[in-house]
Structure 1
Amino acid sequence: MVLDWLAQILTGCANRPRPDYPRTISTAIEDSSSTRLGQFFGPAADEHPGLSGFSLLSHGREAFIVRLALGDLAERSLDLQYFVWDGDTTGRIIVDRVLKAADRGVRVRLLVDDPYYKASDSVIAALDAHPNVEIRLFNPFANRRWSTLDFIFDFGRVNRRMHNKLMIADNASAIVGGRNIGDIYFGVHTTANFRDLDVLAVGPIVHDLSLVFDQYWNSRSTVPIAALVDRAYGAADLDAILIRLHDEIAAVDYPYPIDQDLDELAARGAELRDNLVWAHGRIIADDPETVAHGKESDDVVEFIRGRVAQLKEELLAESPYFVLPAGAQATVKMLHERNVRMRVLTNSLASNDMLPAHSGYAKTRRRLLQNGMELYELRPDTDAFRPGWSLLSGRSPAALHTKAMIFDREAVFIGSFNLDPRSAVINTEAGLYIESPELAERLRAYMATGVAAANSYRVLLDPNGEIVWETVRDDQWVRYRDEPETGFRRRFAAALWKLLPIDSQL
């Protein structure tokens, strides 16, 4: 009886893609010059032949509004690729804006990592019913109802996730970086918010980003949602979802403007355009086919390893999770012996949303300090980032989500890549490598706020070789000998995680 029930779960509820569902290959639009966005950024690009334009999006409000602007100004295509898309107010507003673009005739391709799109299959399929919208899931679970079983019986496959974050409008402008879609990434969450970073990109680099999107979109690891549901969804389903969506948005007093007209958007866009840094840039991305073939996704980490090996003077980095394997720790020692300065800001135990990741980092902390690395950990009570958040966030704790590096003050890498084994070999990742001292200086100024004495803990070894944390409170230096601002229970839980042999999964 029990075996029959288990067999029913494992087979009867496994919604494998229907073999008869038509799977189409599609690619980005080729010529964006005639679009509104193409004409808006085109003259500036013509003045900088061979270069692309870049601007840092460090404030949550700005990052949100620019996304809405790209959605409103798009005329031919919107391509979106995200690891997490929360079903909260921010997630609903951006879905609504994307659907309005589709109503204008814009082709929308939405690719999301299956476990982290926070909506049911029926909701996704109803949105997909729009004639100008197609939604695909990356490496989807077979069991749509009991997905946890896939982690038990098909762990090697479903453990491989798509961590990329990308938005492209009309193949003319794009956003790349660390932000997923949800309140917590844009400073409007009421209980916690991330310090995060994106890059707005225009010019030739956008065509390269579109090629990467197409590679993922047409990969064997992506499946249309319509091939996973048990019936066809149509206009009536879409109408019902849109009514519910609009009611939910109207019921919330969202803190950022969501009804700007095109003149306002153009004025804001002109300010961004005039502030662009023009430089050579490259998209570095993992091959999505590694998931289908069961291979390691290591293109991004191999690039970073090679670039780190070329360092002459300095590496500055921010990463929410910082777990270096033995080989990387040896590289830290080698760089220190070459007098290369290395400084990293990561989450403290108090600010980290992933205890296992913190435990992996804590195991390496002493050796990193002994090998000359400067370590800083974010304070959750910092006020430094609140000017970029909404009033709704109140005194909500801060956590770090930025993934960025500066090489010798000459070049930067900004994207989805965390400095940990999961990003290195398990998940797929992508980021922009930009050779520009000017942009490096802007990013350096951004990073300086993170490591300021009032915003972080400096991690040090005292004369006895014990780890201590130092920060400034009320204009006075304070020293801690235990993980700051944490209670016994949290420290005990982190210590338990350190005992588990899971470093390769962190």
Structure 2
Amino acid sequence: MILPERSWGLGRALLCCLLALIAGCTAHPVTREHTTALRPAEIEATALGRWTRQASREEGGDSGFALLAEGEDALAVRARLVDEAERRLDIQAYSIDEGQTTRALLRRIFDAAERGVQVRLLLDDLSAVGQNARLAALDSHPQIQVRVFNPVTFGRGHLASWVLAAALDVQRTHRRMHNKLWITDNAAAITGGRNLGDPYFNAGDPRNFADLDLLAVGPVVDALSLSFDLYWNHGLAQPIGRYQRVEAGAWQHLRDELGAGPAERDASRSMPARRRHDGVAAKEALPDVLHWGKGEALWDPPGKIRVPGRPPFGMTLAGALHERVMPLDSRLLIISAYFVPLARGTQLLVELAESGIQIDVITNALSASDMPWVHGDYAARRPELLASGVRLFEMRAEHEDTDDSAGLSGSPMSSLHIKALGFDDDQVFVGSFNVDPRSLWWNTETGVLAESESLAAEFHALAEIGMAPALSYEVGLDGSGNIVWETQIDGERVRLEHEPGSRWQHFSAWLSRVLGLAPWL
């Protein structure tokens, strides 16, 4: 039976009330202040701002870039950027998990706020499920503001009730803010694939994510700061205080819970790191690691989430990136945790490969993927891609010991989480964008396109390590056209004729393909 529109509206209202009673959560009136990035004079009034502006001028107005492949480095740089913040700290993240690295960074953020730094923390609403009280306590500090993007008003206490409430407006709520940014004094920024949680910094047990960030200074940070402001001030970004009430001093209790001992205060010591670093964010260390070149920040508009159906390709980050890098001259390198090219993407890659462009793809093996249902459509397209000359590498879940994994291995149990692209020999894109329909159409994403031959050379060298048989399977076709996987086991090169993975992983991939779920993944 189809209910009349008015009857459905009444039913939805009643269900919302029921969810509110179940969750004990209602919206409260909270002032929502419009704030923006620091002005140029305010940026140059900070030590980091003065140095980055002067360094950029000396490099002809270019931006500086550094790849952060090791989880230990990525954590240490974030910690150093918090410690060096004088005026402003802006953080945008898809998820924030409980863990020792998160606790250590939050403690540093409290220390920064106590010395007068203004902190703006913008999270996708899904990450707030079950953490509303904690985030509201953080927000209760006079110098810290926490907002959630694309929020669900009711059922916020538990994932099941959140999903039920989200189902009332699924056309909006299935779309999420996937952006990741970390900006200090609007002078130095990090973007890439890492969320906030132990597995992203090689501190997970037993599994870690092999990931990649890009540290940037110079003019490109102005654009990244603008993108943050657009999201922060958008109507979909709402103060956490509207959904969770806490006492005024709740932040003091949270700070005490985080601990104040030396081990807790030193992020680089709060995890079982293989190496320890003082960080490379300080101006004394930056000149030794930065690659200078042109840079452009790209992002989806926050209003993409409200566009009915699939947004026009031209309004997406992917459309902007395609416009800037095509046509290619020689090569394309794709490193994507979730690689779902669909029919149109497959056709494009085949055409490029057949025109003489070298195309290499690194993604997760079925056995390594944390979302095996994403694997189904890609698996069906492997024969066509391979026949055209595209090279496919799938990172293994368990790999051989290697002295130089450059952060790609993550740990003996790892899953690829990198989202990065290399174009020819001089351009690199690092951000939150997976080569899949969800990043293209449904989520919002951000990243930086950098033009630098030395940065591109480092990126391709990193990829070569990831392609090594000790870490990945090289997928190929045998003489009969069947898929095979070549790799290294116990130091010996072997060829596998059956795809590694559990029965559940194989079933999930098969079911996803049969149900045609790929456009939504």
Q: TM (normalized to structure 1)?
A: 0.91
* Structure 2 CA distance for partners of 1:419 and 1:49, relative to 1, 3 Å: same
| 2:254 paired residue number | 241
| 1:288 paired residue number | 302
| 2:345 paired residue number | 328
Match of 2:144 among 105, 129, 133: 133
| 2:7 paired residue number | none
Q: What amino acid is aligned across from residue 362 of structure 1 in structure 2?
A: A
1:424 and 1:212 map into 2 onto residues whose CA distance is: 18
Cα shift at 1:492:
2.9
| 1:257 paired residue number | 269
- Per-residue deviation, residues 392-415 of structure 1 (Å, max 9, x unmatched): x8x641111111111111211110
| 1:439 paired residue number | 455
| 1:112 paired residue number | 123
Conserved? CA contact 2:294–2:450, under 8 Å: yes
Conserved? CA contact 1:454–1:473, under 8 Å: yes
2:19 and 2:134 map into 1 onto residues whose CA distance is: 24
Match of 1:149 among 159, 164, 168: 164
2:281 and 2:164 map into 1 onto residues whose CA distance is: 51
Q: What amino acid is aligned across from residue 370 of structure 1 in structure 2?
A: A
Conserved? CA contact 1:220–1:292, under 8 Å: no
1:55 and 1:489 map into 2 onto residues whose CA distance is: 39
Q: Does 1:178 align with 2:193?
A: yes
Match of 1:52 among 63, 67, 88: 63
- Per-residue deviation, residues 41-100 of structure 1 (Å, max 9, x unmatched): 333222112201111111111110000000000000000000011111111111111111
Q: What amino acid is aligned across from residue 493 of structure 1 in structure 2?
A: S
| 1:62 paired residue number | 73
Query: Aligned to 1:270, what secondary structure does the other structure show?
Result: coil
Question: Is 48-57 or 114-123 further displaced after alignment?
Answer: 114-123
Query: 5 Å matches for 1:87-102?
Result: 87-102=98-113
Match of 2:95 among 80, 84, 96: 84
Query: Aligned to 1:152, what secondary structure does the other structure show?
Result: helix
Query: Aligned to 1:367, what secondary structure does the other structure show?
Result: helix
* Structure 2 CA distance for partners of 1:219 and 1:384, relative to 1, 3 Å: farther
CA RMSD of aligned residues (A): 2.8
2:350 and 2:269 map into 1 onto residues whose CA distance is: 49
2:119 and 2:26 map into 1 onto residues whose CA distance is: 24
- Per-residue deviation, residues 267-286 of structure 1 (Å, max 9, x unmatched): 96522333211100000100
Q: What amino acid is aligned across from residue 469 of structure 1 in structure 2?
A: W
Conserved? CA contact 1:52–1:201, under 8 Å: yes
| 1:121 paired residue number | 132
* Structure 2 CA distance for partners of 1:481 and 1:276, relative to 1, 3 Å: same
1:7 and 1:69 map into 2 onto residues whose CA distance is: 44
Match of 2:286 among 258, 266, 272: 272
- Per-residue deviation, residues 162-220 of structure 1 (Å, max 9, x unmatched): 11110000011111111111110011112111111111111111111110100000011
| 1:491 paired residue number | 506
Query: Aligned to 2:44, what secondary structure does the other structure show?
Result: coil
Cα shift at 1:296:
4.3
Tell me the matched-pair count. Answer: 495
Q: What amino acid is aligned across from residue 374 of structure 1 in structure 2?
A: R
Cα shift at 1:287:
0.1
Give the gaps of 5 or more residues in structure 2.
1-10, 272-276
Cα shift at 1:134:
0.3
Cα shift at 1:119:
5.0
Query: Aligned to 1:66, what secondary structure does the other structure show?
Result: helix
* Structure 2 CA distance for partners of 1:109 and 1:254, relative to 1, 3 Å: closer
2:120 and 2:265 map into 1 onto residues whose CA distance is: 29
Question: Is 301-310 or 340-349 further displaced after alignment?
Answer: 301-310
Cα shift at 1:348:
0.1
| 1:39 paired residue number | 50
Identity of aligned residues (%): 38
Question: Is 452-461 or 127-136 further displaced after alignment?
Answer: 452-461
| 2:209 paired residue number | 194
Conserved? CA contact 1:349–1:358, under 8 Å: yes
- Per-residue deviation, residues 439-463 of structure 1 (Å, max 9, x unmatched): 1101011111000122110111111
| 2:323 paired residue number | 306
Question: Is 301-310 or 405-414 further displaced after alignment?
Answer: 301-310
Question: Is 452-461 or 416-425 further displaced after alignment?
Answer: 452-461
Match of 1:208 among 223, 242, 247: 223
- Per-residue deviation, residues 452-500 of structure 1 (Å, max 9, x unmatched): 122110111111111111112244321111112x233432333223222
Query: Aligned to 1:465, what secondary structure does the other structure show?
Result: coil
| 1:338 paired residue number | 355
| 1:406 paired residue number | 422
| 2:184 paired residue number | 169
Cα shift at 1:301:
1.2
1:111 and 1:349 map into 2 onto residues whose CA distance is: 32
* Structure 2 CA distance for partners of 1:358 and 1:99, relative to 1, 3 Å: same
2:347 and 2:510 map into 1 onto residues whose CA distance is: 24
Query: Aligned to 2:64, what secondary structure does the other structure show?
Result: strand
| 1:473 paired residue number | 489
Q: What amino acid is aligned across from residue 18 of structure 2 in structure 1?
A: I
Give the gaps of 5 or more residues in structure 1.
none
* Structure 2 CA distance for partners of 1:134 and 1:385, relative to 1, 3 Å: farther
* Structure 2 CA distance for partners of 1:75 and 1:308, relative to 1, 3 Å: closer
- Per-residue deviation, residues 108-146 of structure 1 (Å, max 9, x unmatched): 000001112465211111110000000000001122232
Q: What amino acid is aligned across from residue 504 of structure 1 in structure 2?
A: P
1:427 and 1:478 map into 2 onto residues whose CA distance is: 39
Cα shift at 1:310:
0.7
1:444 and 1:312 map into 2 onto residues whose CA distance is: 16
Query: Aligned to 2:74, what secondary structure does the other structure show?
Result: helix
